[in-house]
Amino acid sequence: MGGGGPQATRIPGNPVGSQGFPPDDRGTDPRTGRRAGRAASLLLPPLVLMGVVWFLSAQPDLSSGLQQDFVLRKAAHVTEFALLTVLWARAFGGLRPRPRESRSLLGAAAVALAWAAVDERHQHFVQGRVGSVRDVAIDAIGVVVALALLRLTPLGRRVGVRSRRRD
């Protein structure tokens, strides 16, 4: 009989977690909490970027008034919201057992566009800053660029939004 501790019973269709224990109903290994760690690694990057966007929006206007400065700032808007969309698509794709490309992309776009609107509303209350619908539209360009990259290039597979076969 031996006193080797609890033994896991294999249940068909239910993978056994590390150390022989079946995962709980959320798919989390009760001994290691691996799913929670995976969720944190997926959610932390877009949340940190959202915090950076919020912090930068809280800064008073420091523009020089030069045309190059304007173009650079708008390019930064496009870039940061493209990156935010990619990070949310990665998070949504990685959190679901069988991710659907369309849901991951739509969810990512919705969160990024909502954050663009919140960001501009936030700027409305910062001295020297003005929130504008035009900036939300510029942020939306970044979202569209990210969606195109995720859908039409290998980037979608790399971040886990798209499988090798087309959805």
Tell me the per-residue pLDDT of 44-80, one tens digit each, with 9 for 90 and over.
999 999 999 999 989 887 666 677 788 888 999 999 9
> What would the DSSP string read from start to end of 53-95?
HHHHHTSPP-----HHHHHHHHHHHHHHHHHHHHHHHHHHHHH
Query: At a CB cut-off of 8 Å and minimum separation 6, what does 38 contact?
Result: 94
The first and second tokens of residue 149, run together, are: 């990259």
> Tens digit of pLDDT for each residue in 74-93?
999 999 999 999 999 999 98
> Using one digit for the tens of pLDDT, what is the confidence trace for 115-147?
999 999 999 899 888 889 999 999 999 999 999
Q: What is the pTM of this model?
A: 0.73
Residue 4: predicted pLDDT = 54
